[in-house]
Structure 1
Amino acid sequence: MDNKQGQGVSRRKFLRNAGVVGAAGAAVSAGAVSIGTAVAGDKGGAKCADCDYDVVVIGGGFAGVTAARESMKNGYKTVILEARNRLGGRTFSSEFAGHKVELGGTWIHWTQPNVWAEVQRYGLELKETPEPFVEEQQTVRIIHEGKAVEPKLEELIGISKAVKDFFADAPKLWERPYDAKHTWEQLLAVDGMTGADRFAQLKLTPLERSFIDAYVAGIAHTTSDRTSYLETARWWSLPGWNMTAFVDACGRYSFKDGTISLINAMIEDGKPQVRLSTPVAKVEEQGKRVLITTEGGEVIRAGAVIVTVPMNVLPRIAFTPALDPALVQAAEEKHTGSGIKVFVRTKGKLPEAGKRLGLAGSAHPINILATYAKAEDHTLFVGFGADPAKLDIQDRDAVQAMMSSFYPDLEVEACYGYEWTLDPYARGTYCSYKPNWIRKYYDHFQKDRGRVVFGQGDHGEGWRGFIDGAISAGSQAALRTHKLLG
């Protein structure tokens, strides 16, 4: 958002608009796909007796769209009920400063089997970050003792060793990242450990700690004293326990035409009916059917319901029978994904060849700042921060101060982002578990109850919290629903 549009756009204004039109000018519907009107009472095609639909999917993110596509292919009349006026959930394709950007989930990788299979299935094109991508030198700056410093070669060698030491237990803890029970006792033994606790076990220089702390905060989207060490170790394990694979898996490849391109392809393939701006108020199981009541008062009858909404918003919906109290407690606690993501356009082309990477510990407003795209007259950066209270991403002056702490030579022309913590249908960013959550909640998540099936991308094995994990969760929920309905 630039100053010509009003420099001091407040979070209060965002809150009023959240979930209605989203970030200014960025609302994206389902694009070119056909959105069904899906009138309740039309029982044509439903196999389940006295039902409007065989399957109602609550939530139109990647988990919900996947579940709906698979349910349609299984022969069930299916509708998606999405509270927002767009599909995509916590992914959000938009444009800023002449570039296609993602306000939520962005990057994918071939070590993420579910989403990579979808790319191959639909022949979707990818792009690399930064755009245009050239294998070139990267300049690293770390905020250390209040100043931005560029580590010397010997310091970089020490940082590399420190990273390996920090994650040294990851192969033992997550020997099989898709099977937590395989190393269950080892996981429980350190379940209460935070990222900061792990720092205390190691002999790190202040510079090494700042570097690792930046990545820990970026991984968990919260400060290192709030995140579970197990979660950071899981992320490290999934692409193969090394820094190169980790960086590529979490920040190199994305959809050329946006995450919405895969959503569109899935909808066009499965052709479920879609109802936007239809938040759900109640879900009530009645024998061989489920009654779904929208916030508008409409009642829809279904053979089964697949719930894919983010865990933090589960309490918005009244369930009968009541939800497992552990699920409600976890939702009220909220997972640790509560940070910010901001795009920053700076004036002029970078003066040197290559790309820039800025890193800062949990106390800084932005923990990871990286070149996103380059042009002749400007450069686009993307930044991730652990705490929304430390940076108003709608305030250009505040963003300029942050940018100057890393790069005093850069002038901010505009900034842009979406505040997921203020979105009533997200109440946070991607899901990352807190310390002790494995012990307290793991066996409660994704447990179906009668004809109410849970397929939330926040839970499950492997890449949960990612697009890949959402696709996996939706696919598995559809399979269980197929077994339920026959």
Structure 2
Amino acid sequence: MSPDTRPGDPAIPSAADQGARRRTVLRAAGLTALLGATGVTRAAAAEPAEAGGHDVIVIGAGFAGVTAARELSRGGLRPLVLEAQGRIGGRTYTAEFAGEKVELGGAWFDEGHPHAWKELQHYGLQRTVDQAPEVAFFPAEQGYRAYTPAEGFGRLAELVTPVFDGSKEYFPRPLDPFAREDLVRPLDRTTLIERIDALNLAPVDRAWVTGNLGGLSGGSARGSLTQMAQWWALSDWNYDKFSSATSSRLVHGTAAFIEAMLADADADLRLNSPVTRIEDHGSHVRVTTRRGTTYRARAAVVAVPVNVWNRITFAPGLPAEYRRLAEETVAVPSAKKIWLHIRSDQGLFYAAGAEGVPGLGDVIPTQRLGDGHLAYAFSADPALDVTDRAQIQASLRRWVPDAEVLAVRGHDWGNDPFARGGWTYKRPGQLTGPLRAVQRPVGRLSFAGSDIALGWSGWVDGAIESGLRAAGQVLGR
């Protein structure tokens, strides 16, 4: 529906015609529309003071929100999706860099992702695998040392595997982390570094393990053992599967995936509509955006990151478990992802950072270019500027002194006001503490997002899982 029309205007087509038109526009507009161009954008200036005509308001157009909207539409409801940014995708973000499609956020898919894999098969989306590195750099007594990939990753597998000893017993069914809650609950108080230190590793070996796992956790003293152990269990308790989970991505990017899902939903979309207030009036909800536009519906799905919950005013206020989780943060609060166009005599190289060292963490190559190659890196360093090529090159040269960074493109997820963090990594006590409570509805509000998934939390699969659950809660009322 156009924002400058009203229900009842003769110019408004039927609901079926609207759905068909929307799907046609989305398919024709392609990826550029989803990255902020015209085609799916809705101008907000002419919106009415209070808009109705929708059964459910979905707040957030990431995979959780779009999944919920699609399922609500399939259930016969009329959803409105309010997205704070000028694009859909949430913490996935397909962009152009060095003439290639790259992912500035979540990117990877695997047959072991039950919800995402089913969707990929449904939409006929193809995957590709990154090119393997030719040399790998790991910490040494002094600086870093080059290994063949077989030597380096073989040694890393030997060091990492014991961290998860016993996980087959406490996570026997990884998609249900509470199957053995009696065993998980005491372990959930353990930080990742406490578990690593219990292994009494030699200093260099400890640097290998903390560098590898600490980067994923946003800091091994911050993150819980159980979050990483569940990922390990979801990877069939196998290092090769655990490490290869970040090598398979979509040929046309995550934007093509979420575009297909949104095109399948008969949902109205409003971009550039950050929500500031959500009121539950018992019989209906009222949602207010930063522009002062108010929308009314019988229910709402809140599908924004947990780290953002406390930036929205809820009336009445949220229960204590929700407030606690938002205050503690779930997603890594200083997470950054950076793409690099590199030229080096080393060719395709992998570089493992040491935890606590400023600058880049792991650097992972993806493909050769006509001049050099592409790689991506992560960082949780608050001082790293993802746009500063010289700073990033200086960090990269810790491993490869001749490396030349020709161009960079990154996203600072911690300073993104609509994310306030990157990938999910729960802190000690959050799994067995508030997680199940925040999966339940609060009045006419349901909550969704990869942060609060039971299975692959931190992955697109977890976002889809939670979107399905939230839509089911609304439809079941």
Which residues of 2 match residues 121-160 of structure 1 at below 5 A?
121-130=122-131, 138-151=134-147, 158-160=155-157
- 1:189 — aligned with what? 186
Alignment match of 1:459 (pick from 440, 452, 465): 452
* Gapped regions of structure 2 (runs ≥ 5): 1-31
Question: Do residues 445 (structure 1) and 451 (structure 2) align?
Answer: no
Q: Could you tell me how far 1:141 is from its partner in structure 2?
A: 0.8
Equivalent AA in structure 1 for residue 374 of structure 2? L
- Matches of 1:154 and 1:102, distance apart in 2: 29
Which residues of 2 match residues 71-150 of structure 1 at below 5 A?
71-130=72-131, 138-150=134-146
Q: Could you tell me how far 1:137 is from its partner in structure 2?
A: 6.3
Q: Could you tell me how far 1:225 is from its partner in structure 2?
A: 1.4
Equivalent AA in structure 2 for residue 333 of structure 1? E
- 2:381 — aligned with what? 387
Shift in alpha-carbon separation, 1:157–1:121, aligned structure 2, 3 A: closer
- Secondary structure, counterpart of 1:421 in structure 2: coil
Q: Is the 8 A contact 2:135 2:346 kept in 1?
A: no
Question: Do residues 199 (structure 1) and 196 (structure 2) align?
Answer: yes
Q: Could you tell me how far 1:169 is from its partner in structure 2?
A: 2.2
- Matches of 2:126 and 2:151, distance apart in 1: 40
Shift in alpha-carbon separation, 1:285–1:394, aligned structure 2, 3 A: same
- Matches of 1:165 and 1:445, distance apart in 2: 32
Equivalent AA in structure 1 for residue 53 of structure 2? D
Paired residue total: 441
- 2:3 — aligned with what? none
- 1:11 — aligned with what? none
Equivalent AA in structure 1 for residue 182 of structure 2? E
* Percent of aligned pairs sharing the same letter: 33
- 2:70 — aligned with what? 69
Q: Is the 8 A contact 1:175 1:183 kept in 2?
A: yes
Equivalent AA in structure 2 for residue 178 of structure 1? L
TM-score, normalization by structure 1? 0.85
Alignment match of 1:180 (pick from 163, 177, 180): 177
Q: Could you tell me how far 1:452 is from its partner in structure 2?
A: 0.8
Question: Do residues 224 (structure 1) and 220 (structure 2) align?
Answer: yes
Q: Could you tell me how far 1:155 is from its partner in structure 2?
A: 7.5
Alignment match of 2:367 (pick from 361, 373, 377): 373
Q: Is the 8 A contact 2:49 2:294 kept in 1?
A: no
Q: Is the 8 A contact 1:293 1:299 kept in 2?
A: yes
Which residues of 2 match residues 19-418 of structure 1 at below 5 A?
28-29=34-35, 34=40, 51-130=52-131, 138-151=134-147, 158-220=155-217, 222-249=218-245, 251-338=246-333, 339-347=335-343, 351=346, 355-364=348-357, 365-389=359-383, 391-418=384-411
- Matches of 2:414 and 2:330, distance apart in 1: 11
Q: Could you tell me how far 1:158 is from its partner in structure 2?
A: 4.9
Q: Could you tell me how far 1:172 is from its partner in structure 2?
A: 1.9
Equivalent AA in structure 1 for residue 254 of structure 2? T
Q: Could you tell me how far 1:37 is from its partner in structure 2?
A: 6.8
- 1:477 — aligned with what? 470
> Aligned-residue CA RMSD in angstroms?
2.3
- Secondary structure, counterpart of 1:405 in structure 2: coil
